[in-house]
Structure 1
Amino acid sequence: MNLKMKLNVAFSLCLLSLTTSVMADNAGENNLVDQAQMSQRQEQQHNRTREASFKETEQTLRAEAERLEKAKATLQKEIDSLTAQFSKNESSLAKQEEKLRLETGTLGEIFGVVRQNAKTLKSDLSHSITSVDRQVYAPIVDDIVEAKSLPSLKQLNGLWQSMNEQIQAGGEVAQVNIPYVNDGGVKNTEQAVRLGSFGLITAQGYVAWDNGKHVAIPYLKQPDDGPTLTTVSPLLEGQTQTLVVDPSKGTLLAQLANAPTLMDRLKAGGVVGNIILVILAIGLIIGLLRGISLVVIKQKIKVQLKDPQQPGNNPLGRVLSVYDKEKHRSVEALELRLLEVVVDEQSHLEKGLSMLKLLAALAPMLGLLGTVTGMIDTFQVITQFGNGDPKVMAGGISMALVTTVLGLVAAMPMLLAHNILSSQAESIRTILEKQGIGLVAAQAEKDHSTEGELEQAA
C-alpha cells in the first residue's frame, strides 16, 4: 500500500512539472511575438519619417530649379539685348568712321607725317646736348607724339619752331652753366661751352650730358689734344679755331675708355703685376750685365789665342799661367791644377745665370697667383652685387688676365736670355777645357821625351 501511494505521488509530481514547463514555453513565445510586432511598428514609423523628409527636400530642389530657370531666362534676355545693342553700336561706329574718313580726306596722311616727324625729333632731343639751354618747344613736340587727334595749328607751329631752334642751336658756340658731377660724386655748377650739338667743353675737357638726370659727368678718357674751356676761348670771341670734335656726338668719346693704353693695362695688373714688372727689370739687368761681361771675356780670349805665350788677365790667360808657374810637375798634378782653374772660371762665367733662371720660372707663377687673386675678387663682387652688371666684375677679370700675360711676357725674354748666356758660357768653358787638355798633352809629351833621353843616356 505504501509503495502504491509513493508511485502515485511521484507521478503527480512529474505531471505537475511537465505542466509548468509547457506553460513557461507558451509565455516565452508570446513575448517574442510582441517584440517583433513592436520592432515592425518602429521601422514603419522611421520609414514614414524619411519619406516625409525626402518629399520636403524634393519640393525645395524643385523651387530652386524654378528660380534658376527664371534667372537664366532673365540673363538670356539681357544678353540678347546687349548683343543687339553691340551690333547696333558697331554699325553706327563703322558709319561714323567712314564719315570721318571722308571728311578728313588727306588730313589723316598729314597727321601721320606730323606724328612721325615729331617722334623723330623727340628721339633726337632726348639725346641732344641742346637740352642744356635750347629746347623751349620740347613740350609741344611731346604733346603731338601723345595726341590721338589731329594736331592744332599751334602745335604745328610749335613743331616747326622746335626744328628751327635745333638748326640754329647746331651752329652756335654758347657759354652755359651746367650741373656737373665730378669723379668723387660731388655735384656743383660748372661753366661750360656748348659746341653746337656736338659736345660740352669744361675746364676738364669734354663731358657727357645725361638728359634723363639733367646733369653732366666726365668721360673716363679724353682724346689727345682735346679742347678745354681755356683753349676754346677764341671761339667765343668769333675767331676761327681748329678743334678735335666727335661727329658722333659722344659715342666715340665714350669708346675711348674701351681702348686703354699700355699704362692703363699695366695698372690693371695691380700689386702682383708690379712685382712681375720688377722681376722682369731685374732679370733684364742681370742678363744685360752678364751678356756684356761674356762678350768682353770672349773678345779677350780671342786676343789671347793669338798670343798664347803671354798670358793676360782673362780666363784663358789664367789657365795658361798655371802651366807656366811650375815647369817641373807631373802630368797628373798639372791636370788637377788645370781642372781647378777651369771649374773656378766656370763658376765666374755662370754667375747670375741661376738667378736669371729662377726669375724666369717665378714670373709665370706670379702671373698665376694674380689670376687666382683676380678671380677671387670677381667672385666676391658677384656675391655682393650679383652678375647683372659686367662693369662691376671688370676689375677682377682685368687683373686675372693682365697678370697672366705679364707673367708669360716676363718669362719668355728671361728664358731666352738664360739660354743665350748659358750657350756663351758653355762655349767659353769648352775653349778653356780644350786649351787645358792641350797643355796636359804637351806636358805628357815633354815628360815622355825626357824619359827617353834619360834611357838613352843610361
Structure 2
Amino acid sequence: MMRRFAAAFFLSLLSTLAPAADALGPDQLLERIRSERAAEVGAMAEREKAFLAKHSEQASLLAAARAELNAQKAEAERLKAEFDRQAAQLAEQEKQLTLHVGDFGELFAVVRQSAGDIAGQWQDSLLNAQYPERLARLKALAKSRVPPSSEDLDGYWMTLLEDLAASGRVERVELPVVGLDGQRKTQPVLRVGTFSSFGEAGFLRYDAEAGELLAAANQPSGRGQATSYLESGEALAELPVDPTRGTLLAQLQREPDFWTRLQQGGLVGWVIVALGAFGLCLAAWRMIYLGGVARSIKAQLQDLGTPRRDNPLGRVIGMLGPQPQLADLETLELKLDEAILQETPPLERGLGLVKLISAVAPLLGLLGTVTGMIVTFQAITQSGGGDSRLMADGISQALVTTVQGLVVAIPMLFLHSLLAGRSKALIQLLEQQSAGLVALHLSGAPRRD
C-alpha cells in the first residue's frame, strides 16, 4: 500500500516539474533555487539585525527611565525634608507671634468678627449707593489673616462714625439711578437717613447684588410729597419713609397688579371675567330699557285720553277701544289681561339670565379652586414639596378664581333684585291703571289726566 502511494506521489511530482524542466535545464534550475535561497537568507539576516538593534535601544531607554525614577525619588525625599523643615519653622514662628501679640490677638479677633457682622448688617443699606467702597474695606478686614495695622483700625473707626452721622441726615446728593427703561442716569437723590430715598420718578430701592439705586415700578402713596420737596428746596417738609429700610418697598414690587391677578386665574378665571362682563352689559341694557319705559309710562299718565303706542300703558289703553257696555265687562277684563300679559315678557326679559349668571359664577370659582388644587398636588408630586414656588401657580389659581366667582356673583344678585323690582313695579302700574280704566269706562266718566 505504501509503495503504491509513494509511486503515485513521485509521478505527480514529475508531472508538476515537467513544464519547468522543459523551460529550464537542470543546471539552470539548480542555480535559480540557490539564488532564491540566498535572497531569503539575506532578508532573514537583515530582520535579525534590525531586531537586535531595537532591543539594544529599548534597553538603553529602560536604563534612562530607571535613572530618571531614581532622580525623582531623591528629589521627592529632598522636598519632603524641606517641607518638614519649613513646617517646623512656621510652627515656631506662629508660637513666637502668639507670644509677642499676647492680648492683642483677642482684640484683633474681636475686630475681625465685628467687621464681618457689620458688613452683613450693611449689605442692604442705602448708604452703600453713596459710599460703595466701605463694604469692600469691611470685608477685607473681616477676612484678613494678619493683624490689622493702626491705619486699618483708624479707618474702621472712621467708617463707623461716618455711618452714624449719615444715618441721621436728610440730604440731596447726585447719584446714578437705573430708571424703569434700564438706562443709568445721574440725578439728584433725596436720602432720608437709611430709611428711604427719592429720585425724579419717586421712591428708589437699593439692589444689594448690583449695588445700584433702581426706580421702583410700583410706587406707594406719598411720592408727590418727595417730588414737591425736591422742586421747592424747602428745609422742612413732610416725607413718607419706610421704617423697615426697604423691606415694605420690596414687597410692594412683588405685589401683582390687576392684570397679573386676572392672569393667575387661568382659563377658568377668564371665563368668569367674560361671564361677569356679559352680565354687567346685560344688566346695564335692561336698566336703561326699563328706565326708558318708566319715563314713557310717566308721560302717558299725564295724558290718558290720548293713548300712544310707544309705551306699554298706551298700548294697554288702546285695547279698550270705544266705551264698552256693562255686558262686555268680562270680555273687557280678558282683553286687558291679555294686553298686560303681552307687555310682561319685554319687561322681564333678561332677568333669568342675570340670575343664572349670579348662580353659575360661584360654581365656576369652585371649579377653578379644584383645578388649582390639582395643579398644586401635581407640583408637590413632581418636586416632593421642597420648593413652594412651584406650588404658587396652583394655589394662586385656586384662590383667585374663588374671588372672581364671588366678585361676579354678588353684584349680579343685587342687579337681579333691582331689575326684578323695577319690572315688577311697572307691571303693577299697568295692572293698577287697567283696573282704574275699567272702572272709569263702566261708570261712564271720561278719562282724566
Within 1, Cα distance between the matches of 2:63 and 2:148?
59
State the secondary structure of the residue aligned to 2:244. coil
Counterpart CA distance in 2 for 1:424 and 1:234 is 56
Match of 2:339 in 1: 341
**Given the alignment of the two structures, is residue 65 of structure 1 paired with residue 62 of structure 2, yes or no?**
yes
Q: 2:249 aligns with which of 253, 273, 296?
A: 253
**2:284 corresponds to which letter in structure 1?**
I
Is this contact kept in 2: 1:179–1:214, CA < 8 A? no
Give the CA deviation at 1:201: 3.7
Residue 13 of structure 2: aligned partner: none
Which runs of structure 2 are paired with 1:242-391 in the superposition (5 Å)? 243-259=239-255, 279-288=278-287, 325=324, 340-341=338-339, 343-353=341-351
Q: Secondary structure at the match of 1:197?
A: coil
The AA in structure 2 aligned to 1:90 is A
Q: Secondary structure at the match of 2:77?
A: helix
Q: What secondary structure does 2:226 align onto?
A: coil
Distance 1:244 1:260 in 2: 23
Question: Is 1:120 aligned to 2:117, yes or no?
Answer: yes
Q: Which residue of 2 aligns with 1:152?
A: 149
Between the aligned partners of 1:276 and 1:413, the Cα distance in structure 2 is 12
Equivalent runs, 1:32-111 vs 2, <5 Å = 40-111=37-108
Q: Quote the offset at 1:163 in angstroms.
A: 0.9
Q: State how far apart, in whole Å, the 2-side matches of 1:109 and 1:247 are.
A: 36
**Cα deviation per residue 1:334-365 (whole Å; 9 max; x = unaligned)?**
9996785365133333345488589989999x
Amino acid at match of 1:350: E
CA displacement, residues 203-225 of structure 1 (integer Å, 9 cap, x when unaligned) = 65432245776754332334334
Measured in 2, the distance between the counterparts of 1:422 and 1:206 equals 50
Distance 1:347 1:422, change over 3 A: same
Cα 1:419–1:138 change in 2 (3 A) is closer
Please, which of 211, 214, 218 is the counterpart of residue 215 of structure 2? 218
Which has the larger displacement, 244-253 or 140-149?
140-149
Counterparts of 1:143 and 1:293 in 2: how far apart (Å)? 80
Structure number with larger C-alpha Rg? 1
Say which SS state the counterpart of residue 72 (structure 1) adopts.
helix
Residue identity opposite 2:245 in structure 1: K
| Contact 2:195 2:243 (C-alpha < 8 Å) held by counterparts | yes
Are the counterparts in 2 of residues 349 and 425 from structure 1 also a CA contact under 8 Å? yes
Is the contact made by 1:357 and 1:418 (CA closer than 8 Å) also made in structure 2?
A: yes
Distance 1:185 1:272, change over 3 A: farther
Aligned mates of 1:326, 1:348 — CA distance in 2 = 31
What per-residue deviation string (whole Å, max 9, x for no partner) do you get for residues 135-154 of structure 1?
88666545524533110112
Amino acid at match of 2:203: Y
- Rounded Cα–Cα distance in structure 1 between residues aligned with 2:51 and 2:134: 82
Tell whether the 8 Å contact from 2:204 to 2:216 is kept in structure 1 after alignment.
Answer: yes
Q: Is the 8 A contact 2:261 2:400 kept in 1?
A: yes
Moved more, 46-55 or 135-144: 135-144
> Structure 2 counterpart of 1:347, which letter?
P
Which deviations, in whole Å up to 9, do the C-alpha atoms of 1:319-345 show, x marking residues without a partner?
9969x947668x9x9999678536513
Q: Output the aligned Cα RMSD.
A: 5.8
Structure 1 residue 170: deviation in Å? 1.7
Cα deviations across residues 73-118 of structure 1 (Å, max 9, x unaligned)? 2222222222222232223323333333333333333222212222
Tell me how far apart the structure 2 counterparts of residues 131 and 228 of structure 1 sit (CA, whole Å): 21
412-421 or 70-79, which deviates more = 412-421
Q: Cα offset for 1:156?
A: 0.7
> How far off is 1:159 after superposition?
0.9
| Aligned-partner Cα distance in 1 for 2:411–2:159 | 64
CA offset at residue 246 of structure 1?
1.3
Distance (Å, rounded) in 2 between the aligned partners of 1:272 and 1:58:
90
Deviations 1:40-75 (A, max 9, x none): 555444433433333333222222222222222222
SS in 1 for 2:110: helix
CA contact (8 A) 2:128 2:134 kept: no
Q: Which secondary structure state, in structure 2, belongs to the residue aligned with residue 206 of structure 1? A: strand
1:131-142 correspondence to structure 2 within 5 Å: 131=128, 140-141=137-138
For 2:6, the equivalent position in structure 1 comes to none
Q: Counterpart in 2 of 1:385?
A: none
Query: Of the candidates 155, 160, 165, which is equivalent to residue 163 of structure 1?
Result: 160
State the AA in 1 paired with 2:282: G
Q: Secondary structure at the match of 1:228?
A: helix
Alpha-carbon distance change, 362 to 277 in structure 1, aligned in 2, over 3 angstroms: same
Q: Offset at 1:197? A: 1.8
Contact 1:141 1:158 in 2 (8 A): no
Q: List runs of 5+ in structure 1 lacking aligned partners.
A: 1-23, 297-312, 368-397, 434-458
Amino acid at match of 1:144: L
Distance 1:29 1:134 in 2: 113
Percent identity (aligned): 28
Code of the aligned partner of 2:100: E
CA deviation profile, 1:378-432 (whole Å, cap 9, x unmatched): xxxxxxxxxxxxxxxxxxxx99x98997688447754885699679979999xx9
Partners of 1:422 and 1:69 lie apart in 2 by 109
Alignment partners' CA distance in 1, 2:105 and 2:252: 46
Equivalent in the alignment of 2:196: 199
Check conservation: 1:287, 1:414, Cα contact below 8 A. Answer: no
Q: Structure 1: which amino acid aligns with 2:141?
A: I
TM-score by length of structure 1 reads: 0.55
Shift of 1:235: 11
For 2:146 and 2:356, the matched residues in 1 are separated by: 81
Please give the per-residue CA displacement for 1:420-448, whole angstroms capped at 9, x wherever unaligned: 9679979999xx99xxxxxxxxxxxxxxx
Aligned pairs, how many? 353
Distance 1:108 1:325, change over 3 A: farther
